[in-house]
Chains A and B, each alone.
Chain A
Amino acid sequence: MLKPLFKTLDRNAFALFCGALLFFLIGGVLTTVLPGMTEDSWSEPVAGLTELNEQQMRGREIYKREGCWYCHTQQVRTLVADTKRFGWRGVDAPISTPGEYVHDRPHFLGTRRIGPDLARVGGKYDKSWHRTHFRNPRDLVPGSIMPPYPWLLDENGGQEFEDLTAYIQTLGRAVDWRPDDDYEE
């Protein structure tokens, strides 16, 4: 039964074209279009989620422009190693949920962890720590390979540093996970 079909596909370019498209579309639609309609959690923000203000938004654009997301992920996965490692001062980091990302465009989930995950870094350090860190990460963390970003601090009176840090400090704050509310400014 299959033989004549394959014979046709061997000779008829149009039939081949249609077959290749059909096969592709089955999986394509079921894994992209369908979940877009069925997965409500993707568009339901978690309770504490607010939209970024203008300054934080500018900071987010700097994060995108400088490619911080090539070295840092923003997702605490369903692994003990993640929740323990990316928690701080003895409190485990809560696992990331789709509702935290609703306003993220582009998303910064990331693929590679050259540096640590940043999904829960908001409030972990104060602004002066970030200032020193962006000027030269190795001053604070010997052995770090994060690049220095002096121009963020030196140009326009350090406006870009202010914006970027304002954004960094929002990360993870929506889930408000610190029992003692010990976020740094």
Chain B
Amino acid sequence: MSAEALPKLQTEGALPLSQQPSAKWFMISSVVFFVITGLVGVVLSLKFIWPEFMGTAPWLTFGRMRPLHVNGILFGWLLAADIGLIFYVVPRLCGNRLWSEKLGIATLILFNLTVLAAVYTTLAGNTQGLEYAELPFLLDIGVTLAWVMFGVNVFMTIATRKHQKIYVSLWYIMGGILWTAFVYITGNFATMFTSGIGQANLNWFYVHNAVGLIFTPLGIGLAYYFIPVVSNRPLYSHKLSMIGFWSIAFIYVWTGAHHMIHGPISQWLQTISILFSLMLIIPVWTVIVNFYGTVWGHWDRVKQNPILKYLMAGTTFYLLTCFQGPMHSLRSVNAIVSKTDWIVGHAHMAVLGAFSFFAIAGTYWALPKMLDKPLHSKTLANRSFWLMLWGGLIYFVSLWVGGFMQGLQWHDVGIPWVDTVIFMEPFWVARILGGVLIFAGIIVFLYNVVRTLGRPDEDAESDTTAATPAVS
């Protein structure tokens, strides 16, 4: 297999790119939302043990805060972080600058105003009542517009690129932007014209592909950039990248109905969704082999570098979560795990363990580069990693074990429902612990980012003076 090196320019950041307000501010705003909506997640986890906790006002009840946590993490944090990182990565891969910083800033303002408004509407109970599509119509328009503006900026940057060859990351980013547009419109607008099972089918198409064709390609595209750059290793195989990309483009979109297995939806749709879910192993494993292959034999670099740790842990969680997914779609397994907390553990491994880890790694790498200052503290970066890793593992495993056992109990119809709820208590306590550790990791991440931003310029100067002799 042929190893592919990233063109020199990209890895060295030799372009005068330190002034990139759009990328920078998207990253900063995303970290702020990560903290806020992460805290909401912790509050929610407490409600499972103390159902009255903070529940004296309607806007603080479970039914209002859950969508705030989910949408806040997905859009306020992860999507915004991905946008910022894409603004950072794309010009470097194209050998030019972002097509329009002005448009980028306009996108930033529109996107963040929309997310802020969504915090209000969600807590006020103003919702469309569909998972991931809770935002009211007007805000859906805001998101769509921001996405089009973002897409135009990225596509124009690519269209005016200096390097002819399009690196893998760019395939995923272009595909991701394009698919997101279709998936988002289906989930938020097309659903308005349907009802009942037809609407549910579109809803699940959207929910599933929001992860599979939005966060997956954007996250994988970014990891395809950061893993070789941070480890300073050529990408393992170009051929594998190609198989991975084109197979995910074809396969992912068929699988939405696996959210309704055994449910009131046509059997052929269920069967198709199962077949294609199993086929997902192909794009996933090609990516995994490619990522591991890139750092293979150089694990010492992972040991020394917290950013690489995030990237490789993210890769491992991606492998695991995408192994679980196809297994859940099997009818026999689905009958046990579906509708339980197992799935919640699975979803957190995807969004936190895989894609948030990629985004955190990217932010830790890119922010200092853009500011032309070193990261405030490598030790703290390591701490945030271990907090999130252990917190995440406690979170995932407690919900898998508890959820699976609760699923088995549901099949024993002699056990009253509430007893299966009471059974979950120790697992929910463990989940609180996991959640608190993850949140602590997020706080350390925020602190590190803020200190890096606030770092006096002397440091940067001393760095440049140190570097000068080597250059001259």
Chain A positions near chain B (C-beta within 8 angstroms): 6, 9-11, 13, 16-17, 19-21, 23-24, 26-28, 30-32, 35-36, 39, 41-43, 64-71, 73, 75, 77-82, 84-85, 95-98, 100-116, 137-138, 141-149, 151
Assess whether B249 is in contact with A23, with CB atoms less than 8 Å apart.
yes
Known contacts A81-B411, A112-B344; A103/B195 CB under 8 A: yes
Cα distance A116–B418 when bound, in Å? 9
Contacts of A70 in B (CB 8 A): 62-63, 66-67
Known contacts A16-B174, A144-B51, A148-B52; A26/B250 CB under 8 A: yes
Within 8 A of A (CB), among B116-157: 125-131, 155
A115 to chain B minimum Cβ distance, whole angstroms, is 8
Assess whether B205 is in contact with A31, with CB atoms less than 8 Å apart.
yes
Within 8 A of A (CB), among B254-295: 254, 256-257, 259-260, 262-266, 269, 272-273, 276
- Which segment, of B163-171, B306-314, B448-456, faces chain A? B163-171
Contacts of B257 in A (CB 8 A): 31
Contacts of A103 in B (CB 8 A): 195-196
Secondary structure at the B interface, as helix, strand, loop or mixed, is: helix
A76 to chain B minimum Cβ distance, whole angstroms, is 8
* Extra pairs beyond A35-B266, A106-B129 (19, CB < 8 Å): A10-B165, A10-B166, A11-B164, A20-B174, A20-B178, A24-B182, A27-B253, A31-B205, A39-B198, A41-B197, A42-B198, A65-B126, A67-B62, A67-B66, A79-B262, A106-B191, A107-B197, A145-B51, A147-B63
Assess whether B196 is in contact with A31, with CB atoms less than 8 Å apart.
no
Assess whether B200 is in contact with A147, with CB atoms less than 8 Å apart.
no
Contacts of B263 in A (CB 8 A): 75, 77-78, 96, 109
Cα distance A144–B418 when bound, in Å? 6
Assess whether B63 is in contact with A32, with CB atoms less than 8 Å apart.
no
Within 8 A of A (CB), among B296-351: 335, 339-341, 343-344
B274 to chain A minimum Cβ distance, whole angstroms, is 13
Assess whether B265 is in contact with A98, with CB atoms less than 8 Å apart.
yes
Assess whether B256 is in contact with A36, with CB atoms less than 8 Å apart.
no
Assess whether B129 is in contact with A111, with CB atoms less than 8 Å apart.
no
B422 to chain A minimum Cβ distance, whole angstroms, is 4
B426 at the interface (CB under 8 A from A): no
Cα distance A96–B175 when bound, in Å? 38
Known contacts A105-B195, A106-B130, A144-B421; A13/B174 CB under 8 A: yes
Assess whether B166 is in contact with A108, with CB atoms less than 8 Å apart.
no
B186 at the interface (CB under 8 A from A): yes
Least CB separation from A62: chain B residue = B125
A60 to chain B minimum Cβ distance, whole angstroms, is 9
Cα distance A43–B199 when bound, in Å? 11
Assess whether A113 is in contact with B174, with CB atoms less than 8 Å apart.
no
Residue among A6, A24, A39 having the largest count of chain B Cβ atoms under 10 Å: A24
Cα distance A25–B139 when bound, in Å? 26
Cα distance A70–B273 when bound, in Å? 23
Within 8 A of A (CB), among B189-210: 190-191, 194-203, 205
B55 at the interface (CB under 8 A from A): yes
Assess whether A146 is in contact with B58, with CB atoms less than 8 Å apart.
no
A144 to chain B minimum Cβ distance, whole angstroms, is 6
Chain B positions near chain A (C-beta within 8 angstroms): 47-49, 51-52, 55, 58, 61-64, 66-67, 125-131, 155, 158-159, 164-166, 170-171, 174-175, 178-179, 182, 186, 190-191, 194-203, 205, 213, 242, 246, 249-254, 256-257, 259-260, 262-266, 269, 272-273, 276, 335, 339-341, 343-344, 410-411, 413, 417-419, 421-422
Cα distance A137–B164 when bound, in Å? 65
Cα distance A144–B410 when bound, in Å? 16
Which one of B62, B179, B253, B254 contacts A147 once the chains associate, using CB atoms below 8 Å?
B62
Known contacts A16-B166, A35-B269, A111-B343; A105/B199 CB under 8 A: yes
Known contacts A144-B51, A147-B55; A39/B266 CB under 8 A: yes
Residue among B129, B158, B201, B417 having the largest count of chain A Cβ atoms under 10 Å: B129
Least CB separation from A70: chain B residue = B66
Assess whether A109 is in contact with B200, with CB atoms less than 8 Å apart.
yes
Cα distance A10–B419 when bound, in Å? 58
Assess whether A145 is in contact with B205, with CB atoms less than 8 Å apart.
no
Cα distance A84–B412 when bound, in Å? 10
Known contacts A106-B129, A143-B421; A28/B196 CB under 8 A: no
10 A-B pairs closest in CB distance: A67-B63, A101-B196, A27-B253, A65-B125, A106-B129, A77-B262, A64-B129, A105-B195, A23-B249, A84-B413
Assess whether A13 is in contact with B159, with CB atoms less than 8 Å apart.
yes
Assess whether B196 is in contact with A107, with CB atoms less than 8 Å apart.
yes
Assess whether A147 is in contact with B61, with CB atoms less than 8 Å apart.
yes
Assess whether A101 is in contact with B62, with CB atoms less than 8 Å apart.
no
Residue among B159, B264, B276 having the largest count of chain A Cβ atoms under 10 Å: B264
Cα distance A170–B47 when bound, in Å? 29
Known contacts A11-B166, A31-B257; A23/B129 CB under 8 A: no
Least CB separation from B242: chain A residue = A6
Cα distance A80–B52 when bound, in Å? 34
Cα distance A26–B205 when bound, in Å? 14
Residue among B55, B203, B421 having the largest count of chain A Cβ atoms under 10 Å: B421
Known contacts A23-B246, A84-B413; A147/B47 CB under 8 A: yes
A62 to chain B minimum Cβ distance, whole angstroms, is 9
Contacts of B249 in A (CB 8 A): 19-20, 23-24
Contacts of A151 in B (CB 8 A): 58
